[in-house]
């Protein structure tokens, strides 16, 4: 039995231009879930016909088996097969976050799109209808980027229909700060080394979920940057830090893959020397890291996840100080410092700023009587005209490190205040990195107030860390960046704080009553009062 379906594609934004796909009619065979295979003869995207084969494993995960461009003049192939989120057939939609194809004729361009397949049950058989087809930047899910469109949005972010995970364990991973900065060139001046920290928490699912710390090991590896591309840091590391460390090893001894360290009930990999370049040399400030939790006794994989480990050198000093942003710009800055402060730094390179300026980020004590690094930089630049914006110094026009899509939190000033407010707070004695904006500045209620504890160290619902449910700073779920959202989508069927879409990310059944996080009902059925748009922090700092 066959049934005819219309594929109607909306006009969608694709790299700045509108793409209108024509309305086509196809004949699709009936789909039986028991066969565990979905064979789609043609998905029409950008005037090309793509043949897609998907299988469904025993845990109801969709596995991309094959993508073939049958409408192209030359053969094509999928760049990478991937496991995508769990699916419950009762959800009536199979959401495939990304399909990618690349021609085999040497053309480096990649076509990438997400697809919603609507499940249409009938009395005798079940049919598939191709629903929404959405362009995405290749690749915000499976790896790599095309051009600089790292923040290209997938319009399905807010309307994903999936069931949550059915695994016995979950692991949630994130970066501690939501963005790390580094110099690309360290030959003259080093502000920050390649130094990134990955954090993870393991939860055993159940009626009463349990945070797991004993009996498990966690391993991590970078997926797109495995070679520490694009930095001369290791040529100058001994002069800067007095350490002679091997190439692609960080200041803590960690590399781009390894085992995470248990601290309390979370796991850490501190000082990962990731750089913002893929192995092919392309700029990527949001590389993916894979984290795998294993049984310590047997080595059995309990759970795995992928998360963004953000890093960028986009500090744009050249915008005001001239040059290319490399050694010439850094030399100009040191000469200006010598002129104004009576130092002789320009003739004694390379210079590590933290040798004189205290900086909790590197646990640097500095020199007594000299302002800490945050006060020196923010205080100095608050007094110039025109006053710099946050992205004049922090990553940046391409990186766009503040990427949360929460209403009222989409400017740095919403949490950190203005540059002058930050500078004044530092002059008044605020300790950078250790005294930062608090959620309770906008959100009301005792369930949200974490006291003096930093967000990145604070706990909430049943002892789960705030970052575990809400994700890393500057990218709180939902994020404008697709690859930030994929972890939440995999765990609960949609983006947003864990529990806002489904309690079944951690619970095996939906709790009764108002037992959700922060006094909310199950599945985020109530919302707390907040005022993101009006309140601004008076103690904020761009560093965290």
- Residue spans of the domains in the chain: they are 2-158, 169-312
What pLDDT is recorded for position 92?
A: 56
Q: What is the mean pLDDT of residues 86-91?
A: 44
Summarised one tens digit per residue, pLDDT across range 63-86 is: 666 666 665 544 444 333 333 333
Summarised one tens digit per residue, pLDDT across range 33-68 is: 455 666 676 666 555 666 777 776 665 555 666 666
Number of H helices, E strands in the chain: 9, 25
Helix (H, G, I), strand (E, B) or coil at 14: strand
What pLDDT is recorded for position 513?
A: 65
Q: Is the pLDDT of residue 269 over 90?
A: yes
Summarised one tens digit per residue, pLDDT across range 151-196 is: 333 322 222 223 345 579 999 999 999 999 999 999 999 999 999 9
Q: What is the mean pLDDT of residues 14-24?
A: 23
Percent of the chain past pLDDT 70, that is, above it, reads: 64
What pLDDT is recorded for position 11?
A: 21
Long-range Cβ contact pairs of 113-116 (< 8 A, separation 24 or more): 113/45, 114/154, 114/156, 115/43, 115/52, 116/156, 116/161
What is the Cα–Cα distance from 376 to 58, expressed in whole angstroms?
Answer: 58
Domain 169-312 has CATH 2.60.40: yes
What pLDDT is recorded for position 112?
A: 62
Most confident option among 39-43, 370-374, 521-525? 370-374
Is-contact 491 505, C-beta < 8 A?
yes
What pLDDT is recorded for position 387?
A: 87
Residue 432 vs residue 51, higher pLDDT: 432
Going by pLDDT thresholds of 50, 70 and 90, the confidence category of residue 365 is very high
Q: What is the mean pLDDT of residues 507-514?
A: 79
Q: Is the pLDDT of residue 483 over 80?
A: yes
DSSP letter at 440 equals: G
Helix (H, G, I), strand (E, B) or coil at 157: helix
What pLDDT is recorded for position 428?
A: 93
Question: Does the predicted TM-score (pTM) go above 0.75?
Answer: no
Is-contact 475 484, C-beta < 8 A?
yes
CA-wise closest residue to 61 among 489, 468, 483, 481? 489
Residue 453, C-beta contacts closer than 8 angstroms, at least 6 positions apart: 459
What is the Cα–Cα distance from 233 to 184, expressed in whole angstroms?
Answer: 8
In angstroms, the Cα distances linking 194 to 232, 255, 513 are 10, 11, 47
Going by pLDDT thresholds of 50, 70 and 90, the confidence category of residue 321 is very high
**Other CB atoms within 10 A of residue 539 CB:** 19
What pLDDT is recorded for position 13?
A: 18
Most confident option among 16-30, 68-82, 218-232, 424-438? 218-232
Least confident of 133-137, 347-351, 371-375, 437-441: 133-137
């Amino acid at each position: 039995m066959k049934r005819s379906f219309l594929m109607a594609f909306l006009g969608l934004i694709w790299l700045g231009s509108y793409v209108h796909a024509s309305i086509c009619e196809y004949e699709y065979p009936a789909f039986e879930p028991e066969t565990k295979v979905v064979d789609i003869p043609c998905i029409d995207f950008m005037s090309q016909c793509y043949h897609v084969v998907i299988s469904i494993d025993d845990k109801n995960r969709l596995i991309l088996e094959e993508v073939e461009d049958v409408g192209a003049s030359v053969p094509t192939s999928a760049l990478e097969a991937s496991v995508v989120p769990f699916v419950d057939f009762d959800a009536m939609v199979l959401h495939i976050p990304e399909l990618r194809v690349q021609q085999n004729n040497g053309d480096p361009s990649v076509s990438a799109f997400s697809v919603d397949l609507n499940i249409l049950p009938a009395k005798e058989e079940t049919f598939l209808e191709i629903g929404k087809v959405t362009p995405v930047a290749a690749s915000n899910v499976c790896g790599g980027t095309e051009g600089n469109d790292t923040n290209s949005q997938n319009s399905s972010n807010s309307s994903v229909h999936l069931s949550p995970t059915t695994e016995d364990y979950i692991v949630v991973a994130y970066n501690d700060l939501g963005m790390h900065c580094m110099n690309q060139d360290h030959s003259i001046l080093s502000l920050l080394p390649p130094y990134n920290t990955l954090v993870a928490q393991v939860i055993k699912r159940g009626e009463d979920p349990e945070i797991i710390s004993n009996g498990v090991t966690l391993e991590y590896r970078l997926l797109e940057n495995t070679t520490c591309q694009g930095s001369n840091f290791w040529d100058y590391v001994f002069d800067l830090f007095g350490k002679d460390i091997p190439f692609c090893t960080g200041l803590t001894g960690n590399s781009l893959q390894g085992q995470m360290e248990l601290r309390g009930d979370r796991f850490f990999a501190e000082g990962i020397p990731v750089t913002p370049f893929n192995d092919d040399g392309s700029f990527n400030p949001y590389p993916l890291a894979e984290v795998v939790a294993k049984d310590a006794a047997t080595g059995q994989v309990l759970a795995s996840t992928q998360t963004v480990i953000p890093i960028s050198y986009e500090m744009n000093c050249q915008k005001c100080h001239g040059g290319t942003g490399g050694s010439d710009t850094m030399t100009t800055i040191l000469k200006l410092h010598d002129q104004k402060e009576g130092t002789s730094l320009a003739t004694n390179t390379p210079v590590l700023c933290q040798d004189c300026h205290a900086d909790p980020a590197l646990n640097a004590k500095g020199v007594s009587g000299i302002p800490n690094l945050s006060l020196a930089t923010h205080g100095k630049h608050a007094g110039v005209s025109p006053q710099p914006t946050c992205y004049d110094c922090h990553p940046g026009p391409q990186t766009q490190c503040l990427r949360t899509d929460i209403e009222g939190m989409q400017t740095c000033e919403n949490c950190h205040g203005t540059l002058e407010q930050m500078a004044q707070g530092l002059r008044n004695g605020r300790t950078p990195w250790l005294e930062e904006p608090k959620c309770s500045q906008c959100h009301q209620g005792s369930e949200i107030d974490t006291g003096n504890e930093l967000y990145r160290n604070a706990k909430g619902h049943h002892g789960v860390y705030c970052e575990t449910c809400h994700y890393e700073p500057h990218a709180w779920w939902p994020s404008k960046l697709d690859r930030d959202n994929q972890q939440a989508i995999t765990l609960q069927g949609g983006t947003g704080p864990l529990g806002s879409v489904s309690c079944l990310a951690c619970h095996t059944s939906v709790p009764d009553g108002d037992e959700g996080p922060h006094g909310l009902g199950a599945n985020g059925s109530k919302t707390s009062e907040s005022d993101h748009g009006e309140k601004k922090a008076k103690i904020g700092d761009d560093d965290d």
